[in-house]
Amino acid sequence: MIYLNQVGYLPDSGKIAILTHRADSFVLRDKLTGKIVYEGIPQLFGGTAPDAASGDIAYHADFADFCAEGEYMLCAGEFTSEPFAIRKAVYHRLKLDLIRSYYFQRCGRALDTAHAGKFAHACCHTAPAILPNQPGTHLDLSGGWHDAGDYGRYVTPAATALAHLLYAYELFPDRFADFLNLPESGNGMPDFLNECRYELTWLLKMQRADGGVFHKVSTWHHAPFVMPEYDTAPLFAYSVSTPATADFAAVAALAARIYAAYDAGFAGTLKQAALLSWDFLQDHPEFIAFQNPAGSGTGEYGDCSDRDERFWAAAELFSLTGEQRFLHAFLSLYEENFSKTALGYASTGGFGALSFFMNPVFAELSGTAADCMEHREDMAADPKTHALPQRFPEHAKQMLSLREHIRTDFIAAADTCLALLTKNAYPVAMSPDDYHWGSNMTLMNNGILLILGFLFTGKTDYREAALAQLHYLLGRNALGYSYVTGYGKRSCRFPHMRTVFADGIDEPVPGFVAGGPNLHPSDEPGRYHIPAGTPPMKCYLDHYACFSLNEVTIYWNSPAVFVTAFFDDIL
């Protein structure tokens, strides 16, 4: 068999296909004419021992030096690959559909045919929500995005998705100027920010008057596999948690900075909401965890600490306001023991560290947010050379030192990813243990870390390694699946997603990222059909009932948006 990126390759990038059979040579053929345009010799990877993650003995067919744009197929022995492209804008449509997926997850409004085409459906989930222990209380918590294949809406994964999206926007704003055919299109705001605003508006509703934030709103149990408008069970506003409150404060502050250029009123509302939630956190220094009430069965999104979430909130509020109290909180929390490079819903330390590194006080010295990522010798020089001592006389040297520590930590994380990639027959920055529930989130988050490594250093090894993550997602893996719906001849078609199951349309909505291989599947089809001892990369089924293998979520799509936007440099 031959496995490669079924969408395609950038002309100036590495290009490797994986063969699981021995062949003396390989050729590229023009898809239309059948003409041979390139020939090469496959190379055995790593000797004759099977690869740990895939169980395969693999041969690499390297055609990096072939750069002509076009449509091709790779042939070796009796096998021919799926068709693929080589093109500068090869990921542009993919990026648009990854972003457009959020429109198709909108809750609380109808999706009309003008914007959703054949995937249109009626309005859903507009009934008031009640508190489980206060049945007489009715709250308008409508709106936002359905979190995943179910119809729940959860604050911590929502904040994580928005973090990936909005930090990408800050770093590469030119990649997000596309028309997305949204109901809000043409209102003077980039459509990308229009879509993010839809989720932010819902998040504002999740905040109580005292600043605490409800952890989630959902029905008591997951809906059956029906369209969202037929899910009419009562909605519940579940209890406040400090991780949800801190995540809300962080992402509201982040958004307030970004939206100020387009809507000062909305930005002001976000700022005041972020400050109110910070006050709640100061009044409640204890960890307020969340657990589903007895008998409830929707997503829990639990956590064992809120220190990393508070860290992120302090960083973003410092970026927004420049106030000393947030700097002090950030510096204190930085000393605590949690990852400063993690980018997940339960581990947000990387967002806090990235926020501090990109703080406007540093950007003022180095230009744009993207410029701020580059290592600049003058940034590590004596702070007398710039305005930092005047604004923060007690902390200027500490801030510069800490900024350099953060840069070093992210580069070290990228180096770890790079080392993993070189050990795998399918070049990917994943260990065998990384194939867990939502492994494609880990895959794409590692892609972000590698992109940051490139931005910090300019070393192209990081860029190529980040691109290799995308190659895996789009088919260069041990099953040959593209894990993005609608992309590739052999792509995920039956995701665990209620709308896709119930809409009566043969193909799924394009642009959704499936969870991917899971060494320990917890759904019945996965446990039954995947034999014990199956190599981690092959522990996957494209089946609607496989929630631990084939579900979609807003925070699995979001790092894929970050990565594809970075590589969609077509200007």
Residue owning tokens 């994580």:
160
β-pairing, 129-131 with 235-237? parallel
409 is catalytic: no
The DSSP H or E segment spanning 3 is: strand 2-3
From the candidates 150, 170, 306, 523, give the one annotated as an active-site residue.
Answer: 150
Q: CA 179 to CA 166: how far, in whole Å?
A: 17
- 247 a catalytic residue: no
How far apart are the C-alpha atoms of 183 and 353, rounded to whole Å?
35
Query: How far apart (Å, rounded) are the C-alpha atoms in residues 510 and 494?
Result: 12
Pairing, β 129-131 against β 16-19: unpaired
Whether 263 is a known active-site residue: answer: no
Continuous segment of H or E residues that includes residue 477: none
Rounded Cα distance, 315 and 326, in Å:
7
Residue 394: Cβ-neighbour burial (10 angstroms; 0-12, 13-18, 19+)? exposed
Angle CA(125)–CA(130)–CA(134) in degrees, nearest 5? 175
User: Of 170, 195, 434, 551, which residue is the catalytic one?
Assistant: 551
Place of tokens 């969202």: 228
Confirm whether 284 is a catalytic residue: no
DSSP per residue, 17-37: EEESS--S-EEEEETTT--EE
Q: How many CB atoms lie within 10 A of CB 60?
A: 17
- The full length of the chain comes to 571
* 330 alpha-carbon distance from chain centroid: 24
Where in the sequence numbering do the catalytic residues fall? 150, 496, 542, 551
